[in-house]
Structure 1
Amino acid sequence: MTTQTPQLLSPAKKHPVLTGLACFALALVLLIVFWSWDWFVPLVNSRATAFLHRKTTITHLHVALGRVTTVRVEGLHSEQPQTFAQEKAPFAEAKSLSVSLDVWSYLWHHTLRLPLIALDTPQLDILARKDGVNNYTFTEDGKEAPKSANAEPNTKITLPEIGELRITSGTLHLQHAPLQADMTMAVQTTPPEGRSRGTITVNAKGRYAQQPITAQFIGGALLSFVADTNPYPVDLHVQNGPTTARLQGQIEHPLVLGGAQLKLHFAGPDMSLLYPLTGVPIPRTPAYNVTGMLDYTPTHITFKEFQGKMGQSDIGGTITVDPHNKPLSVDANLFSKQVDLVDLGGFIGAKPSKTKAEEKAEAKSNTVLPDTPINIPKLNAINAHVTYKGAHIENKKLPLDNIDAEFFITDGAITLKRLNFAVGNGTLASAATLKPDGKLFNTDAKIDFARIDLARIMQATADSKARGIIGGHMTLKAKGNSIASLMAAGNGGLTLVLDQGGDITAILPNILGLQLGNAILSALGLPAHTDIKCFIADMPLKNGIASTNTLLLETGEARTLGQGTINFRNNTLDYALTTRSQGLTIASLPGAFHINGHLKSPTVLPGAEILGRAAAAAGLGFVFPPLALLPTIQFGVGDKSLCSRAVQEVNNNPAAGIAPGALSHAPGTKGGTVAKGSQKAKATQPKTKKQATPKPAAKPHHMTPAEIRAAWDAKLKNK
């Protein structure tokens, strides 16, 4: 009988559970010792590339596990999207990006809390083209995905709770073609200290709106927007070309930009340069300096209670902008305590200030009306309602008293509801509509002159004895883009009355200029210090040419009638004035004289009769259209005007001698002109004791134009 020896079991077979645990522990130790999170780098790269629609890579991935787990990537690099593949600089890169996650808060409270996001040397390249394509919209073609018609807008902002956003040596390059911007920004943050959550500082330099720009922003940490527990401090200084802007203060609720307490200051040589910064087009202005409060609500941005200077004028008020409408909606309520109208010149096409070269060019030009295009830029960029009141006007050339204006801009059209000026006890009131037609405006305008004191207008002229009351109307319908072009194509007319106008020798040189005014006075031959009893001008305008229905100048000694045209197409005039005594004689040689040439420097040339005749025709009246003018006269200067009496007298006694503007030959003489109905009127008019029979006119001496000019020059020289 043989005996079998028992076999010894291995430890693994003897204790299989313990062996398994030991192997697992060893494997775990080896995994921990040799583990590399970089194994996940390819997965991270592929997922990031797919999500951002551009190749995105990291070189290293580190994870520090714990209650607060920190994930850190190194060598972050994101290339430009395909539409910007030609760009040399990458879209984004950073030496490292660290994100800390509070795991405990998430597991127990379901709250996503990130104690720290840190970026080391981040660089970002933001690009946008004129066609709207950009590199920061994360789609394949760089354009925003179309929104569904039924999609509801998501206005609620849900962000994780972030403790600190730390940026070290950040750089942002912005090249934005629609804004004509190309600038570089340096970004740096400071860590939280005490109750402060830290700050962010941005220094920018480059070009914006084709102007060099430098800017500095110092504000609370970006994460203060999310916390919304303390007011967010703001300090922004911008220098854009010659324009400076400063914004200081705080925002009570930064996440929704509510409760703003911000002081905004603007200064520069021209408010029109603010358009790139504000989006609100403003005509050209002189230098300005304005300070006010900036407020923001979910529907409006308001620049309120601002005050400052614009040229020699003060300016204040409130401007409210609704940025959600397209175009922008602007409501402005403006005022000035004291205003110089020169400072408002840009609103009607004039330049607030001229260079020496422009002044020389203007002096050489034959144009007397402003020919600068109406300078209200980018009318389609806004819909606006503007009111403006100037309590007192200071202007030596046109001393009006105050201004009250209100206008609307709607879809590029301008409706001037009112533009009223007080002149003494009178009013200069106007209204107009301008509807765009290409680069031109279809214009319909009306101006009313009511009881305007001429002495108030002429007060800036030293020792002026001009006085009188002005009244009347002016209408204009035309297509153009400047005052000169509108008049050159205009239809309408002017009816103007000057009642009790004072000393004509004081008025004409001041209104027409010394040389032209004195020449006309010499041609009229009126005695010195002759008072104007009445002046009436009724001139229709057709296709840019003003003709004459009536032009009457009545003094105590004589009546002067005018006939002719003013051509605003080529800025010339062709006019004739004829003076006749209202008594037995007139202390001047009678007859017609002519004014013609360019409006800026016309020539005054008498007819041969003025120089060649020695006798005056006496007691001659004139054919005068016009009882229809009486309502205008009464509206403009009052019911008791001398012009009203003059119109009635002339219509009641239309003794004819000469048609307006014709040479004063006696009726029936060779070359004479007799107005229609004059003989009948003369036959029926009874003679009075004071009225003498006119002496027959002497045969006129026929002079050559050269002789007339030489004799006239000699007369003016000896005057």
Structure 2
Amino acid sequence: MTRSTPLKIVGWTIAVLLALIAILVIIIATFDWNRARPYINRSVSESTGREFAIGGDLQVKWTQGQATETGWRRYVPRPVISAQDVHIGNPDWVTVGPQLASARRIDLSLHLLPLLHHQVVLTDLALEAPQISLQRRADGSNSWTLKDNGPSQWEVEIDRLAFADGAIRYLDDGIALDLRAKVSSTAPDTQDTANAAPQKYGIAFTLGGSYRKAPVTGGGKAGAVLSLKDNHTIYPVQAHAVLGKNKASVNGTLTDPRTLSGIDLQLSLAGASMADLYPLTGVLLPETPAYATNGRLLGKKDGQRWIWTYQNFKGSLGASDLAGTLQYLPRQPRPLLRGEVRSEQLRLEDLGPTIGAESNASKQARGKKANQPDSKALPVEQFNTAHWDALDADVKFTGKKLVRTHDIPLDNIVADIHMKDKVLSLTPLNFGMAGGEITTNITLDGRQKTIAAQAKVAARHLKVRELFPKLQSMQASFGEVYGDAALTGHGNSVSSMLATANGELAATVSEGTVSQFMLELAGLNLANAVFVKVFGDKQVQLNCMASDFAVTDGLAKVRRFVLDTDSAVVDVTGNVSLAKETLDLDIRPKTKGARIISLRTPLYAKGTFKNPDVGPQKGPLALKAGAAIALATVVAPVAALLPLVNIDKAPDTDCAAIMAQATATRQHPTSPATKAPARKVSEAEIKKAQQEKK
């Protein structure tokens, strides 16, 4: 064999290979690939377990590598495959459509040599009008999991992806989400987040659909689709949406969105009422005025459940401010909402919708039906207990100041709000008022069709003058008010609960002073009233005041109501109907000294809560007027003044006994069921009260 023989062999081998490559290229270039479509369709369908089809033209062309590529790949020709009308089917049970994915046209180019190593390297993938329809059932099964053929030896890598006019529909029966999105790829851009870290966005989208039957519209942008293939991806998202009657916007990141292990978003919410968030979040919130909040939403996956935290949020509720942190924990049998909320200034008016105490005008402004009758003062708005079993709650609220629009402010509010098994309790609900404090414990049991309500209230050290901050004649007064109430009732509104109330109310005023002018007006002592208005007011010593009501089926009957001062004694009898919202009180003032030109006569307080009627009883007043006319005609005109002179002197009240009795009633109220008579006060208690007075 000559030396040239090996060279010839190598040369012929290379020539044959080149010829084969040339023949292969010619075959690929000239072969009608549409003939291969049945085989391709059948092979892919068998491999995936889904119907796959290339319904349009299938072509293969050759191209050179990109100029931006480096190394040998730049010079190696690669096939470019174009297929039209490509689709893969959905399972039979889906309702979102028969196709899992489809595209009007797909263009892809790939490297040939990596195929020898079971690698599919797509240098470019372009989709025209892609359509994707995904569905997940309540049991967790989904439409995108294909036939399990065991671990695959093939790896797929996509270098560049572009698409336009894409549409995605995602239906999740587990969370009642039906989302439609129109998506298009964009040139990557960057935007600073709250952490000043650059975020790359690769797609833009618009949203439509519904979530928990509430309509959804909006749009935004997100990270590049190709970044989803990386492990532990931090995927940026920026979006805004209108969810039912609420507006929301998010800006942040998703951790590893393929398995979604974490969420960190800056979340802003706004709407007409927080109650409208229930269809969207499943979190039961009360009716409120218009609200807006902004905070950090953190989602952390713990096993198969998500723990959500709305951290360091700030916002407004009507004209009130709110801030705090809330956490939502999925658990059985009900999820739990816990956390703390605080406010620097909270308007009582903004809490009106929560308890149904809202004007018709305010309801109409929020798009709610106006149902408060003009004749009713107590709220008739029904509490909706249907969703009280949606979650349990353990939330602490603190407020620095609660503003009552036309009255004294409340401060230092502390409320522990608990919801468990449809039982709502405020234990305690405490606040400062008029220099004193109010302590309450309220329970609303919604386990039955009609709410069973219980309330205990205690008032301590309320300053008399601070109860009337805008009444100048009371500013020199002093003394403190103490009160207690224990009531039970049934109903689904404040009005119906009070209409069926049973229990007791009691109050006392400790030793102090009150405005003489106010007392004179109460007794209609016209001459003295004019005198003090011209020459100045003065304070009258208040010896005691005690009141005690027994409430039965919404009727509060006066068991005792006495006011004793150095100049007069006032007794009140009658009742107040919480069911009919009416007054029927008889007020009997008695002087401790003579009064000239006095119309002192029994007074009445009648009418309704909305339209009370207070004035002198006509019978006794007419008798005095008739006697004056008779004396004027028979004796002399000066004698006409005699009936207008009060010369009866009321005896001093035994304030020690009254205060001791009232204190015992407040501290040991009788059961609404037994309604036992007030117990007799012992001599020791009377002596103790007298000693305290000294």
What are the residue-to-residue correspondences of 1:611-622 with 2, within 5 Å? 611-613=622-624, 614=643, 617-620=648-651
Aligned to 2:401, the other structure's residue is in SS state coil
Q: 1:219: which partner in 2? A: 222
Q: Does 1:581 align with 2:577?
A: no
Q: Tell me the distance in 2 between the aligned counterparts of 1:160 and 1:507.
A: 91
Contact 1:285/1:352 (CA < 8 Å) preserved in 2? no
What are the residue-to-residue correspondences of 1:204-353 with 2, within 5 Å? 204-205=207-208, 213-228=216-231, 231-240=234-243, 243-251=246-254, 254=257, 261-299=264-302, 300-323=307-330, 327-351=334-358
Q: Tell me the distance in 1 between the aligned counterparts of 2:343 and 2:219.
A: 33
Q: 2:403: which partner in 1? A: 394
Deviations 1:368-412 (A, max 9, x none): 222222368832222211111112333342411221111111222
- Structure-2 change in CA distance of 1:83 and 1:554 (3 Å): same
Letter of the structure 2 residue corresponding to residue 244 of structure 1 = K
Q: Tell me the distance in 2 between the aligned counterparts of 1:92 and 1:458.
A: 73
Letter of the structure 1 residue corresponding to residue 375 of structure 2 = N
Q: 2:555: which partner in 1? A: 545
Q: 2:661: which partner in 1? A: 628
Aligned to 2:379, the other structure's residue is in SS state coil
Q: 1:429: which partner in 2? A: 439
Deviations 1:305-338 (A, max 9, x none): 1223322222111111224666332112111122
Q: 2:39: which partner in 1? A: 40
Q: Tell me the distance in 1 between the aligned counterparts of 2:116 and 2:464.
A: 87
Q: Does 1:120 align with 2:131?
A: no
Q: Tell me the distance in 2 between the aligned counterparts of 1:237 and 1:594.
A: 62
Q: Tell me the distance in 2 between the aligned counterparts of 1:430 and 1:281.
A: 24
- Structure-2 change in CA distance of 1:442 and 1:196 (3 Å): closer
Q: Tell me the distance in 2 between the aligned counterparts of 1:471 and 1:588.
A: 32
- Structure-2 change in CA distance of 1:197 and 1:611 (3 Å): closer
Aligned to 2:38, the other structure's residue is in SS state helix
Aligned to 1:40, the other structure's residue is in SS state helix
Q: 1:190: which partner in 2? A: 186
Q: Does 1:522 align with 2:555?
A: no
- Structure-2 change in CA distance of 1:29 and 1:265 (3 Å): closer
Contact 2:275/2:286 (CA < 8 Å) preserved in 1? yes
Q: Tell me the distance in 1 between the aligned counterparts of 2:492 and 2:426.
A: 16
Q: 1:558: which partner in 2? A: 568
Q: 2:617: which partner in 1? A: 606
Deviations 1:686-712 (A, max 9, x none): xxxxxxxxxxxxxxxxxxxxxxxxxxx
Could you say what the CA RMSD is over the residues aligned between the two structures, in angstroms?
A: 5.0
Aligned to 1:273, the other structure's residue is in SS state helix
> Mean Cα displacement is larger for which, 199-208 or 185-194?
185-194
Deviations 1:148-189 (A, max 9, x none): xxxxxxxxxxx9766555432102356889988777421112
Aligned to 2:620, the other structure's residue is in SS state helix
Deviation at 1:101, TM superposition (A): 8.0
Deviation at 1:449, TM superposition (A): 0.4
- Structure-2 change in CA distance of 1:599 and 1:44 (3 Å): same
Q: Tell me the distance in 2 between the aligned counterparts of 1:349 and 1:436.
A: 16
Aligned to 1:547, the other structure's residue is in SS state strand
Aligned to 1:327, the other structure's residue is in SS state coil
Q: Tell me the distance in 2 between the aligned counterparts of 1:169 and 1:69.
A: 26
What are the residue-to-residue correspondences of 1:133-172 with 2, within 5 Å? 137=143, 163=159, 166-172=162-168
Aligned to 2:346, the other structure's residue is in SS state coil
Deviation at 1:241, TM superposition (A): 5.5
Contact 2:90/2:99 (CA < 8 Å) preserved in 1? yes
Contact 2:90/2:100 (CA < 8 Å) preserved in 1? yes
Q: 1:716: which partner in 2? A: none
Contact 2:94/2:143 (CA < 8 Å) preserved in 1? no
Q: Which runs of 5+ in 2 are unaligned?
A: 1-21, 63-75, 146-154, 191-197, 625-642, 670-680, 688-694
Deviations 1:218-269 (A, max 9, x none): 1112443442466422211223465332212335655565675532222334
Letter of the structure 2 residue corresponding to residue 522 of structure 1 = L
Q: 1:374: which partner in 2? A: 383
Q: Tell me the distance in 1 between the aligned counterparts of 2:170 and 2:425.
A: 40
TM-score, scaled relative to structure 1: 0.67
Aligned to 1:354, the other structure's residue is in SS state helix
Deviation at 1:38, TM superposition (A): 0.9
Q: Does 1:493 align with 2:501?
A: no
Contact 1:464/1:506 (CA < 8 Å) preserved in 2? no
Deviations 1:588-625 (A, max 9, x none): 45554333332322334516234425365434477987
Contact 2:296/2:312 (CA < 8 Å) preserved in 1? yes
Contact 2:523/2:599 (CA < 8 Å) preserved in 1? no
Q: Does 1:417 align with 2:450?
A: no
Deviation at 1:494, TM superposition (A): 1.0
Q: Tell me the distance in 2 between the aligned counterparts of 1:99 and 1:308.
A: 50
Letter of the structure 2 residue corresponding to residue 630 of structure 1 = T
Q: 2:68: which partner in 1? A: none
Aligned to 2:301, the other structure's residue is in SS state coil
Q: 1:446: which partner in 2? A: 456
Q: Which runs of 5+ in 1 are unaligned?
A: 1-24, 140-158, 509-516, 637-646, 654-719
Aligned to 2:610, the other structure's residue is in SS state coil
Contact 2:569/2:650 (CA < 8 Å) preserved in 1? no
More strand, by proportion: 2
- Structure-2 change in CA distance of 1:444 and 1:117 (3 Å): farther
Q: Tell me the distance in 2 between the aligned counterparts of 1:212 and 1:579.
A: 65
Aligned to 1:391, the other structure's residue is in SS state strand
Q: 2:54: which partner in 1? A: 58
Percent of residue pairs identical: 26
Total equivalences in the alignment: 586
Q: Tell me the distance in 1 between the aligned counterparts of 2:383 and 2:83.
A: 59
- Structure-2 change in CA distance of 1:588 and 1:319 (3 Å): same
Deviation at 1:203, TM superposition (A): 0.9
Contact 1:523/1:606 (CA < 8 Å) preserved in 2? no
> Mean Cα displacement is larger for which, 624-633 or 439-448?
624-633
Deviation at 1:580, TM superposition (A): 2.8
Deviations 1:516-574 (A, max 9, x none): x97x6539999666745432221121111111221112222222222222111121222
TM-score, scaled relative to structure 2: 0.69
Q: Tell me the distance in 1 between the aligned counterparts of 2:470 and 2:384.
A: 29
- Structure-2 change in CA distance of 1:507 and 1:393 (3 Å): farther
Q: Tell me the distance in 2 between the aligned counterparts of 1:200 and 1:324.
A: 36
Q: Tell me the distance in 1 between the aligned counterparts of 2:470 and 2:585.
A: 29
Deviations 1:348-384 (A, max 9, x none): 2233883497999899623222222236883222221
